[in-house]
């Protein structure tokens, strides 16, 4: 803590980029308390009347929110509220509250509370973000009905421009506070993929989340700096920090303006070498945003989210609808669908418990054991391909016989469709993900059977280095710049090119701006990444000379440790792109060097020589200065 101002620094997760400086407004959501009451027989009809009134009022409120959301947000973010409106129908119909009320003779708000509790128990511990968010939305709708039953009102107004600090914010809190011209949001709980975080990004309001109890230690009126890019909140900052962040804020504004101008420009180096930038996607809902970021199509569509959202395999028709909608929305850009990669951390409910799921019944292994499910997925993808903008790839291929078996089933399905005179793209490109180390050594044989490779560095690094990608204890050993990794990348890319196929990358490394020049110089043809980093990567590529990049890659390949490769690349970007580097590493080139140290969480894991102190301050734990 600083003696001068009582400054305190909290570290959390970056939920929406940008810097905000202003007074805090600590918001405590008023909980709805419910007690169980047994009704007398003549109270029942009146309670049903009250329930219907509360439902009607809730519907009107939600309709107003939906129409406000449509004006203020992009279509996909507005859908969060449309789906809450649909949930209202679910609550009414599925649980036949009225019937329960007549049978059990209990007060309506208690019955709603009870239904929500049942749901919560069902979804408790769900790892899937989509399911957890659905539960949170349902909870919000339920709370709204209970509040209306109790004829209470929520007050979401704040005078003047503030940074809202709260234990938690629901999607409608986030939206409705934005009417008051708020500067930023900081919450104790929530993840970067929560609906509230998605809304902050759509509203372009900086936000940090997972602040671990910060809201209890901040008072309304405290001066706060919120760094939404690095997940930092500084309360009662020193003058030095205020000046530093004011400078950063104006730098970010000019960088953003510059990046926005790149959206429609091609991704080409200064000497005319062209590469493709595409996006990784999991939901139809993301497509609109992907297009606005200047993506040339989708380089990885993780189809398993359909399975995860449903808790079981979707039918052929359900898959067909999703794949067609995606292909149509992206047309004329292409979409690469990856066949189900279930297993590993994307758990399979009906599976047998495995000791080492990442080395177990996962991806292609599971699908080859379930050929009917595989056929179903192939049929759905082929049927959706009539616009000829779909490509297909297989995860976890470890060798040629596996690939031949998969291609055999694929050909059988094509034959079947031809027999039934069902149209599909006869020339659909097919690729293999290179993410199991054995595939590198048989890449020559694999390349002869497919049209492209897509390197899955998330798994490739974990399998190559024997480091669990989700284990925080050994996160410092997960090194995408390790010489073994970058030399493997060179082998894969060279082997692909020798066999005249293109080579892309859809692992996180493709979106790490520090890796861009290296990957470009290694000859990567396509980079597929989370859409938000596309402009940054494009800016680097557009200001790089391809021959320089080749030289950089050649030099990096000679270096003996991950640290040396990283430092070398960092020095190059720092020299060529000082503004970008400053934003990436939270440097302050104009300042006095006394800056708050933080790296985005994903970058920390890649840095081998971070001491335990540094790593701690970025792991979402609260720290004091
Ligand atoms: C990868 O392994 O790099 C990849 C893109 O696939 P996933 O993260 O879904 O395993
Ligand atoms: Mg993978």
Q: What is the mean pLDDT of the chain?
A: 84
Confidence of residue 219 (pLDDT cuts 50, 70, 90): very high
Pocket test for ligand 1, best of 128, 308, 341 (most atoms within 8 A of CB): 341
Q: Could you tell me the CA-to-CA distances from 459 to 54, 484, 493, 507, 521 in Å, in that order?
A: 50, 14, 17, 8, 22
Q: Exactly one of 162, 305, 506, 610 is catalytic; name it.
A: 506
Q: For the beta carbon of residue 379, count every other beta carbon within 10 angstroms.
A: 21
Number of the ligand 1 atom closest to the C-alpha atom of 509: 3
Give me the residues paired with residue 21 across strands: 225
Query: Is the pLDDT reported for residue 23 higher than 90?
Result: yes
Q: Residues 529, 510: contact at Cβ < 8 Å?
A: yes
What's the 296 CA to ligand 1 centre distance in angstroms? Answer: 20
Span(s) in the chain for CATH 3.20.20.60: 272-557
How many whole angstroms separate alpha carbon 468 and alpha carbon 480? 13
Query: Is the pLDDT reported for residue 621 higher than 50?
Result: no
Q: Look-up: residue for tokens 């990608």? A: 469
506 in catalytic set: yes
Number of the ligand 1 atom closest to the C-alpha atom of 457: 3
β-strands 502-505, 298-302 pairing: unpaired
Residue nearest to atom 6 of ligand 1 (CA): 456
Number of the ligand 1 atom closest to the C-alpha atom of 395: 6
**Residue 112 half-sphere exposure toward CB, CA atoms < 13 A:** 30
Residue 122, pLDDT score: 73
* Topology of domain 272-557, CATH: TIM Barrel (3.20.20)
Q: Which residues contact 394 (CB under 8 A, 6 or more apart)?
A: 338, 339, 363, 364, 403, 406, 430, 431, 432, 433
Each residue's pLDDT tens digit, 454-513: 999 999 999 999 988 877 677 788 899 999 999 999 999 999 999 999 999 999 899 888
Residue nearest to atom 4 of ligand 1 (CA): 456
Q: Look-up: residue for tokens 């030095």? A: 240
Q: Exactly one of 195, 241, 305, 610 is catalytic; name it.
A: 195
Residue 93, pLDDT score: 52
- Pocket residues for ligand 1 (CB within 6 Å)? 300, 302, 341, 435, 456-459, 506-507
Q: Which residues contact 4 (CB under 8 A, 6 or more apart)?
A: 238, 239
Q: Which residues contact 597 (CB under 8 A, 6 or more apart)?
A: 586, 614, 617
Q: For the beta carbon of residue 185, count every other beta carbon within 10 angstroms.
A: 31
pTM of the complete model = 0.64
- Among the residue ranges 30-34, 324-328, 605-609, the one predicted with the least confidence is 605-609
Number of the ligand 1 atom closest to the C-alpha atom of 456: 3
How many whole angstroms separate alpha carbon 244 and alpha carbon 593? 10
Q: Look-up: residue for tokens 């028709």? A: 317
Query: Is the pLDDT reported for residue 527 higher than 90?
Result: yes
Centroid of chain to Cα 438: 29
Centroid of chain to Cα 573: 26
267 in catalytic set: no
Q: Residues 531, 510: contact at Cβ < 8 Å?
A: no
CA of 280, nearest ligand number? 1
Q: What would the mean pLDDT of 335-339 be, rounded to a whole number?
A: 97
267: alpha, beta or left? (left if phi > 0; alpha if psi -120 to 50): beta
Q: Domain 41-149 has what CATH class?
A: mainly alpha
Q: Give, for 147, the enclosing helix (H) or strand (E).
A: helix 129-149
Residue nearest to atom 7 of ligand 1 (CA): 458
Q: Could you tell me the CA-to-CA distances from 285 to 226, 265, 403, 617 in Å, in that order?
A: 28, 25, 32, 34
Query: Is the pLDDT reported for residue 602 higher than 50?
Result: no
Each residue's pLDDT tens digit, 172-212: 888 888 888 899 999 998 777 677 887 887 788 999 988 88
Q: Residues 425, 382: contact at Cβ < 8 Å?
A: yes
Pocket test for ligand 1, best of 395, 437, 510 (most atoms within 8 A of CB): 395
Pocket test for ligand 1, best of 346, 507, 527 (most atoms within 8 A of CB): 507
Each residue's pLDDT tens digit, 45-54: 999 889 889 8
Rg (CA), the chain: 26
What's the 396 CA to ligand 1 centre distance in angstroms? Answer: 9
Q: Which two tokens stand for residue 536?
A: 């940054």
Confidence of residue 128 (pLDDT cuts 50, 70, 90): low
What's the 50 CA to ligand 2 centre distance in angstroms? Answer: 52
Q: Residues 96, 115: contact at Cβ < 8 Å?
A: no
Q: Which two tokens stand for residue 514?
A: 């520090």
Span(s) in the chain for CATH 3.50.30.10: 8-30+156-238
How many whole angstroms separate alpha carbon 406 and alpha carbon 616? 44
What's the 344 CA to ligand 2 centre distance in angstroms? Answer: 9
Confidence of residue 286 (pLDDT cuts 50, 70, 90): low
Pocket test for ligand 1, best of 299, 302, 303 (most atoms within 8 A of CB): 302
Span(s) in the chain for CATH 1.10.274.10: 41-149
Residue nearest to atom 1 of ligand 1 (CA): 456
What's the 282 CA to ligand 1 centre distance in angstroms? Answer: 12
Q: Which residues contact 310 (CB under 8 A, 6 or more apart)?
A: 318
Residue nearest to atom 9 of ligand 1 (CA): 302
- Using a CB cutoff of 8 Å and minimum separation of 24, what contacts does 469-476 make? 469/358, 470/345, 472/619, 475/604, 475/605, 475/615, 476/605, 476/607, 476/608, 476/610, 476/615
Tell me how many helices (H) and strands (E) the chain has: 25, 16
What's the 106 CA to ligand 1 centre distance in angstroms? Answer: 50
How many whole angstroms separate alpha carbon 623 and alpha carbon 211? 10
Confidence of residue 126 (pLDDT cuts 50, 70, 90): low
Phi, psi of 218, rounded to the nearest 5 degrees: -120, 145
Q: What would the mean pLDDT of 74-96 be, rounded to a whole number?
A: 74
Q: Could you tell me the CA-to-CA distances from 422 to 253, 334, 407 in Å, in that order?
A: 52, 21, 19
The CATH code for residues 8-30+156-238 is 3.50.30.10
What's the 525 CA to ligand 2 centre distance in angstroms? Answer: 19
Residue 3, pLDDT score: 56
Number of the ligand 1 atom closest to the C-alpha atom of 455: 3
Residue nearest to atom 8 of ligand 1 (CA): 458
Give me the residues paired with residue 173 across strands: none
Query: Is the pLDDT reported for residue 620 higher than 50?
Result: no
> For a pLDDT cut of 70, what percent of the chain falls above it?
86
Residue 190, pLDDT score: 79
- Among the residue ranges 359-363, 374-378, 497-501, the one predicted with the least confidence is 359-363
Query: Is the pLDDT reported for residue 414 higher than 70?
Result: yes
How many whole angstroms separate alpha carbon 343 and alpha carbon 306? 14
Confidence of residue 412 (pLDDT cuts 50, 70, 90): very high
Strands (E), 289-382: 298-302, 335-338
Residue 596, pLDDT score: 46
């Amino acid at each position: 803590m600083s003696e001068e101002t009582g400054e305190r620094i909290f570290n959390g997760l970056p939920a929406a980029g940008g810097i905000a400086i202003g007074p805090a407004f600590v918001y405590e959501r008023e909980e709805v308390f419910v007690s169980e009451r047994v009704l007398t027989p003549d109270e029942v009809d009146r309670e049903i009347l009250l329930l219907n009134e509360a439902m009607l009022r809730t519907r009107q409120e939600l309709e107003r929110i939906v129409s406000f959301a449509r004006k203020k947000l992009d279509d996909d973010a507005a859908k969060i509220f449309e789906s809450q409106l649909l949930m209202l129908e679910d609550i009414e119909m599925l649980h036949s509250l009225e019937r329960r009320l007549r049978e059990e003779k209990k007060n309506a708000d208690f019955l709603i509370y009870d239904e929500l509790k049942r749901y919560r128990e069902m979804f408790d511990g769900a790892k899937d973000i989509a399911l957890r968010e659905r539960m949170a939305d349902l909870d919000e709708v339920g709370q709204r009905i209970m509040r209306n039953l109790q004829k209470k009102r929520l007050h979401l107004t704040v005078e003047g421009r503030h940074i809202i600090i709260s234990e938690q914010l629901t999607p409608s809190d986030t939206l409705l506070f934005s009417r008051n011209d708020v500067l930023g949001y900081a919450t104790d709980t929530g993840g970067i993929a929560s609906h509230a975080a998605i809304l902050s990004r759509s509203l372009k309001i900086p936000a940090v989340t997972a602040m671990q109890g910060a809201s209890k230690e901040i008072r309304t009126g405290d001066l706060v700096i919120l760094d939404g890019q690095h997940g930092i909140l500084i309360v009662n900052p020193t003058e030095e920090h205020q000046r530093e962040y004011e400078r950063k804020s104006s730098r970010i504004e000019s960088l953003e303006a510059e990046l926005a101008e790149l959206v429609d420009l091609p991704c080409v180096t200064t000497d005319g070498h062209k590469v493709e930038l595409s996006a990784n996607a999991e939901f139809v809902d993301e497509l609109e945003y992907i297009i606005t970021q200047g993506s040339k199509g989708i380089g990885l569509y993780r189809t398993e989210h359909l399975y995860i959202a449903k808790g079981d395999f979707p039918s052929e028709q359900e898959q067909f609808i999703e794949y067609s909608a995606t292909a149509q929305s992206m047309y004329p850009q292409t979409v690469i669908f990856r066949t189900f990669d279930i297993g590993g951390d994307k758990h399979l409910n009906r599976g047998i418990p495995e000791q080492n799921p990442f080395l177990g019944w996962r991806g292609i292994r599971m699908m080859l054991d379930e050929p009917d499910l595989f056929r179903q997925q192939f049929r759905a993808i082929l049927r959706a391909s009539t616009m000829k903008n779909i490509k297909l790839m297989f995860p976890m291929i470890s060798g040629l016989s596996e690939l031949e078996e998969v291609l055999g089933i694929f050909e059988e399905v094509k034959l079947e469709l031809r027999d039934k005179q069902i149209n599909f793209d006869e020339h659909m490109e097919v690729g293999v993900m290179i993410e199991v180390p054995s595939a590198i050594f048989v890449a020559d044989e694999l390349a002869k059977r497919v049209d492209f490779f897509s390197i899955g560095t998330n798994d490739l690094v974990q399998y190559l280095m024997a480091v669990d990608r989700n284990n925080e204890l050994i996160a410092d050993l997960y090194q995408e710049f390790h010489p073994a990794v970058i030399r493997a990348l060179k082998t894969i890319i060279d082997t692909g090119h020798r066999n005249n196929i293109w080579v892309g990358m859809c692992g996180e490394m493709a979106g790490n701006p520090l890796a861009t020049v290296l990957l470009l110089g290694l000859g990567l043809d396509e980079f597929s990444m989370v859409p938000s980093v596309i402009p940054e990567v494009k800016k680097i590529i557009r200001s790089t000379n391809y021959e320089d990049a080749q030289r950089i890659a050649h030099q990096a390949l000679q270096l003996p440790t991950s640290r040396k490769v990283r430092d070398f690349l960092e020095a190059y970007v720092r020299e060529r792109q000082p503004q970008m580097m400053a934003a990436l590493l939270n440097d302050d080139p104009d300042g006095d060097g006394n800056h708050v140290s933080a790296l985005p969480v994903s970058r920390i894991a890649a840095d081998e020589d971070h001491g335990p102190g540094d790593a701690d301050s970025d792991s979402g734990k609260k720290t004091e200065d």
